[in-house]
């Protein structure tokens, strides 16, 4: 019944309302999903005119290209998502361990998409930041103005170029790096028109898209890492006991020197955070460091790692951190002999949850209370296992199972 009401509501939306109000608020992914809701919505949205307007407004693509705008909108949607993968220095261990993609190839493909997307528009740099969809983070202006790449990389990322051509036409002799701005100007001059220029880049993007699409699973993991980091920072600010409760005091020196007054995250800042850090605000730098810090903590906290990978879910992101704080209070009330090693506990907790919860339960969202109960039971099991090993040691005359 509820589904029918939703569909009827969508069917009743007038065409001009869709065009003027609804579409600007939606990503390409949202629009493609809506096309499958009802026939009426599909008829309103799934046409070349709709996607031509969207490509023109969001990526500044010419409306005169002789291509399928619907097809290229799908490609741009995939490219935009992959280009937003966060590049954490601890990303390998937390996000893609044991997966088939090496993290360097993931980031290389991410950078390729950033270069191709930022090269599509031929407007001045101050406006070019709008090439990415409105619903996604914008390309950093400093990145667009200052991005320099090696000629073989530029030839790999962009069409119709050769190393010798770049070296001959761009910059001065003996350069090892070339400005993206200068190389795209050369590419436009070779193409002869905006239509040909953008068509060539879109076809290059299409050629690379099969590999790009294989990295989509990392987009969700990257987003979850950032969301968890934001929640972590928020809870740590409210409750100063969190860091000690997490048993990560040895990691505290890696926390940012800059104080975060506002969570300021844009994945494209990752490319400039080191070389152009003087151009970034303290909030941006602190936010980046908090994400890296969270990834490092997740190496020790198996539940956080499973949350990032999507194998466990919580009712609210802060539930895990609040459960840790409450467990710390409980842990301090235990006799010394009954206290589990919390490093071992938090390392084992994820596996414990996966082994004790039925598969149907794993798909449900864990509450703070369920997490706290699991910590108590896993902690007791850890103590029992440790005690058994000690009692069964060859140096002990008799084995007493507790």
For the chain, 402 residues long, give each residue's pLDDT as a single digit of tens: 444 444 444 455 555 666 666 677 777 888 888 877 778 778 777 888 888 988 888 888 999 999 999 999 999 989 988 888 887 766 666 665 445 556 778 888 888 888 888 888 765 433 433 444 444 555 555 455 567 888 999 999 999 999 999 888 887 666 788 888 888 889 999 999 999 999 999 999 999 888 888 888 888 888 899 999 999 988 988 888 888 888 765 666 666 555 567 788 877 766 654 445 556 677 777 888 888 888 888 988 999 999 998 889 999 999 999 999 999 999 999 999 899 999 899 999 999 999 988 877 777 889 999 999 999 999 999 887 766 554 444 444 433 332
11: phi then psi, degrees, rounded to nearest 5 = -65, -25
Local structure of 267: helix, strand or coil: helix
User: What is the pLDDT, as a whole number, of residue 17?
Assistant: 60
Give rounded-to-5 percent helix, strand, coil for the chain: 70, 0, 30
Structure-block tokens of residue 350: 């994820």
- The span from the CA of 294 to the CA of 314, in Å, is 17
User: What is the pLDDT, as a whole number, of residue 229?
Assistant: 92
User: What is the pLDDT, as a whole number, of residue 125?
Assistant: 37
Residues 6+ apart with CB under 8 A from 342: 247, 331
- The span from the CA of 360 to the CA of 265, in Å, is 35
User: What is the pLDDT, as a whole number, of residue 333?
Assistant: 94
Structure-block tokens of residue 289: 């460091």
| DSSP symbol at 257 | S
| DSSP symbol at 148 | E
User: What is the pLDDT, as a whole number, of residue 59?
Assistant: 85
User: What is the pLDDT, as a whole number, of residue 3?
Assistant: 45
CB 225 within 8 A of CB 294: yes
- The H or E element spanning position 298 is helix 282-300
Exposed / middle / buried, residue 269 (Cβ in 10 Å: 0-12, 13-18, 19+): buried
3-state SS track over 338-399: HCCCHHHHHHHHHHHHHHHCCHHHHCCEECHHHHHHHHHHHHHHHHHHHHHHHHCCCCCCCC
Local structure of 316: helix, strand or coil: coil
CB 147 within 8 A of CB 180: yes
User: What is the pLDDT, as a whole number, of residue 380?
Assistant: 92
Alpha-carbon distance values, 204 to 30, 56, 192, 198 (Å): 25, 19, 17, 10
- The span from the CA of 283 to the CA of 352, in Å, is 37
CB 42 within 8 A of CB 71: no
Local structure of 179: helix, strand or coil: strand
Instruction: Measure CA of the first residue to CA of the last residue in the chain; give whole Å.
Output: 56
User: pTM higher than 0.85 for the full model?
Assistant: no
101: phi then psi, degrees, rounded to nearest 5 = -100, 130
CB 153 within 8 A of CB 146: no
- The span from the CA of 85 to the CA of 62, in Å, is 27
């Amino acid at each position: 019944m509820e589904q029918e009401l939703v569909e009827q509501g969508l069917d009743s939306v007038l065409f001009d309302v869709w065009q003027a109000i609804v579409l600007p608020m939606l990503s390409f992914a949202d629009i493609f999903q809506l096309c499958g809701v009802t026939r009426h919505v599909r008829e309103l949205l799934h046409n070349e005119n709709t996607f031509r307007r969207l490509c023109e407004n969001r990526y500044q693509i010419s409306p005169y290209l002789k291509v399928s705008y619907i097809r290229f909108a799908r490609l741009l949607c995939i490219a935009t998502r992959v280009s937003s993968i966060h590049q954490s220095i601890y990303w390998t261990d937390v996000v893609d361990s044991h997966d088939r993609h090496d993290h360097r190839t993931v980031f290389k493909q991410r950078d390729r998409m950033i270069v191709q997307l930022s090269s599509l528009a031929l407007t001045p740099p101050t406006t070019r930041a709008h090439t990415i969809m409105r619903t996604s983070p914008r390309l950093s202006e400093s990145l667009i103005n200052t991005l320099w790449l090696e000629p073989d990389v530029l030839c790999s990322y962009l069409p119709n170029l050769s190393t010798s051509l770049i070296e001959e036409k761009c910059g001065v002799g003996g350069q090892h790096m070339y400005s993206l701005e200068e190389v795209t100007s050369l590419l436009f001059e070779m193409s002869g028109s905006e239509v040909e220029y953008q068509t060539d880049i879109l076809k290059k993007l299409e050629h690379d898209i099969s590999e790009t699409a294989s990295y989509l699973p990392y987009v969700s993991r990257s987003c979850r890492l950032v969301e968890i980091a934001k929640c972590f920072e928020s809870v740590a600010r409210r409750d100063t006991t969190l860091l000690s409760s997490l048993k990560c005091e040895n990691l505290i020196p890696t926390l940012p020197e800059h104080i975060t007054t506002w969570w300021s995250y844009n994945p494209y800042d990752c490319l400039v955070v080191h070389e152009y850090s003087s151009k970034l605000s303290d909030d941006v730098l602190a936010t980046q460091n908090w994400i890296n810090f969270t990834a490092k903590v997740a190496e020790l906290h198996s539940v956080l790692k499973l949350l990032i990978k999507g194998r466990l879910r919580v009712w609210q992101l802060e539930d895990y951190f609040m459960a840790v704080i409450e467990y710390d209070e409980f842990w301090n009330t235990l006799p010394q002999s009954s206290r589990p090693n919390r490093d071992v506990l938090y390392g084992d907790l994820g596996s414990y949850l996966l082994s004790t919860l039925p598969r149907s339960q794993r798909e449900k969202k864990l509450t703070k209370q369920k997490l706290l109960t699991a910590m108590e039971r896993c902690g007791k099991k850890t103590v029992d296992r440790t005690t058994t090993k000690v009692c069964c040691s060859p140096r002990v005359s008799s084995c007493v199972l507790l």
